[in-house]
Amino acid sequence: MAGPTPVHVVGGFLGTGKTTALQVELARREGHERCAVLVNDFGEASIDATLLGGQVQVTNIPGGCVCCTAPEGLVPALRAILDELKPDRVFVEPSGLGRPRDIVDMLARGDLRGRIELGPTVVLVDPTRPPPDPALWAEQLDGADVLVANRCDLADVDQLAAFDALVARMWPPPLWAAKTSRGRLPPEAWSWPAGAGPRADGHAHHHDHDHAHDRAAPRADSTAGYAARSWVFPPQVVFSWDALRELLAGAPVERFKGVFRTELGWYRLDVAGGVVHPASTAYRRDSRADVIVRDGVDLDTFEAGLRGACLADRDPETLDRSAITLVAADGLDIPLSRGALMSLPGQVADVGALVPGRRGVGVLLREVLAIGGAGERYLLVAADGFASAPAPVAGLGDAVLVHSLDGGALPADQGGPFRVLQPAGSNCANVKALVRVRLMLG
């Protein structure tokens, strides 16, 4: 029986050479692998099947923002390709304005798990020109397992040095970085190195247990009197957002850098000058942290807290699906059954009036959030552990939480028992099988 199908996400802004890189790789595989390509590029495929010699099936997923189209377009299209074409390998090219992490999250979820094997996310950059959107560029870099500077034949010495400096600043670093021209990526770009890689369920695997590296800082003048320790946890480990913040807020650390999978999604947590700086992250390979302390600080106690109290009580995938939990701005859990949701003001008798093509009865999400106090941002957590990026409550618009269909609960095959639908112009986060809504103050 054939194993899971490798799927590769290839990201980067328009003009960085994604299409050329795919053409080169597809030509290299021609004759010994049957490949397919999925494109999400504002309704117009950026790869012409004719240019690929007619040997590759190209499927376009029309639409704008990839995080809107991916849940409703990409996954069904990929499922159809797996069923009908049975390819040996699939390449996914999001729009130049897409976030590779959204594609990775969607492919790692739901009924495709076990049928696909995620390869390293490859992100291309053009060292000869600044990115058109620095914030989005940073997200693309953050999600890169493999970072490639393409078009290096057109770059000068300073531009190539700037790319090297960029890679040196990245934490966590990419698995590897490369410089190339005309999309000629080395074959190893498409494979996980030994000790890192995906399982058939779409998650990356590393060691069977978390581990720590305890090392003394080098005894140079600038580091004398300091010690450091590092940890790496497999991505199946889920941390408690609140417990991590509490541990770090009171920790006697000189410097802390960490990325964690929490019950609220993936986050980066940095500590500098005694202040915790949280930020969402596109990194997905594992949870990890580096800490620097002064000699004499009890790192064993800090580690015990990280391995103990900071672990989430339950993985999001074990949460009860018959109700949702609203986590208020003050941290209080408020369970909301279908009946409770039906009793709130702001009922929408026909969600199709707000989101064409959809059916069901729901309640405006802003009415649900109002129960939890005056939060600044919110995020949504699905039953499979997926969490949307924090979004401003002020931009919520007429997002609707669907709770019923045809007089009963919303069925699972429609994304139930609860799902959120965002009309055009609202914050971009459509979430099926909703189990938790979290309000955040900052």
Q: Which of 215, 214, 195 shows the shortest CA–CA distance to 285?
A: 195
* Four-residue CA torsion sign, 407, 413, 414, 418: positive
Where do the domains of the chain lie?
Answer: 5-198, 211-307, 316-440
**What is the spatial distance between Cα 380 and Cα 326, in angstroms, rounded to a whole number?**
10
Buried-exposed string 22-56: b where 16+ CB fall within 10 A, e elsewhere: bbbbbeebeeeeebbbbbbbbeebbbeeeebeeeb
Q: Please write the tens of the pLDDT for every residue from 27-40.
A: 898 888 999 998 87
* Percentage helix, strand, coil for the chain under 3-state DSSP, each rounded to 5: 25, 30, 45
Q: What end-to-end distance do the CA atoms of the chain give, in Å?
A: 50
Whether domain 316-440 has CATH 3.90.420.10: the reply is yes
Query: What superfamily would CATH give domain 5-198?
Result: P-loop containing nucleotide triphosphate hydrolases (3.40.50.300)
Question: What was the pLDDT predicted at 409?
Answer: 94
DSSP 137: H
The token pair at 166 is 């960029």
**What is the spatial distance between Cα 207 and Cα 195, in angstroms, rounded to a whole number?**
7
Question: What was the pLDDT predicted at 391?
Answer: 84
Look-up: residue for tokens 């059954």? 337
Question: What was the pLDDT predicted at 179?
Answer: 95
| Residues 46, 11, 96, 43, Cα dihedral to 10° | 40
**What is the spatial distance between Cα 320 and Cα 381, in angstroms, rounded to a whole number?**
12
Q: Please write the tens of the pLDDT for every residue from 352-399.
A: 999 888 899 999 999 999 998 878 889 888 887 778 878 888 888 899
Q: How many helices (H) and strands (E) does the chain have?
A: 10, 26
What CATH number should be reported for the domain whose range is 211-307? 3.30.1220.10
Contacts of 93 by beta carbon, 8 Å cutoff, 6+ apart: 10, 11, 18, 19, 22, 37, 38, 39, 40, 41, 46, 47
CA 86 to each of CA 71, 80, 89, 252, 305: distance values in angstroms, whole numbers, following the listed order: 21, 9, 9, 55, 47
CB 243 within 8 A of CB 308: no
pLDDT level of residue 104 (50, 70, 90 thresholds): confident
Mean pLDDT check: name the lowest of 65-69, 161-165, 257-261, 431-435.
65-69
Bond before 120 cis per omega within 30 degrees: no
